[in-house]
Amino acid sequence: MSHFDTTGQLALFPELIDSPELPSISTLPEFDRALHNLIKMSDLGAFISITVHGLDKSFSVHARELEIPEDFLLDGRGDAASQQIHLFPESLRHQVRRLSYDVKRFFNKENSFRTPFGYFLFRPYFRIWSKFVREQEQRLTGFLTDALSGRIYGNHFLEGFETGYRFLESIKDETAPWEFSDKLLLGDLKEFRKKIKTENLTLHSLDKTTPDFPTLAIALKTAHFPTDLITFLKQVNIQFDFKSIHLDYLKNVEITTVDDVINLSKSIWSKT
SS3 193: helix
- What's the alpha-carbon Rg for the chain, to the nearest Å? 25
Mean pLDDT of 261-270: 86
**The pLDDT of residue 128 is above 80:** yes
Which of the four pLDDT bands, split at 50, 70 and 90, describes residue 11?
A: very low
Which of the four pLDDT bands, split at 50, 70 and 90, describes residue 271?
A: low
Q: Are the C-beta atoms of residues 136 and 103 closer than 8 Å to each other?
A: yes
Q: Are the C-beta atoms of residues 110 and 235 closer than 8 Å to each other?
A: no
**The pLDDT of residue 28 is above 50:** yes
Q: Are the C-beta atoms of residues 232 and 153 closer than 8 Å to each other?
A: yes
Q: What is the pLDDT of residue 16?
A: 44
Task: Please give the model's pTM, rounded to 2 decimal places.
Answer: 0.80
Q: Are the C-beta atoms of residues 250 and 33 closer than 8 Å to each other?
A: yes
Partners of 9 in beta bridges: none
Q: Are the C-beta atoms of residues 56 and 93 closer than 8 Å to each other?
A: yes
Kindly report the average pLDDT of the chain as a whole number. Answer: 89
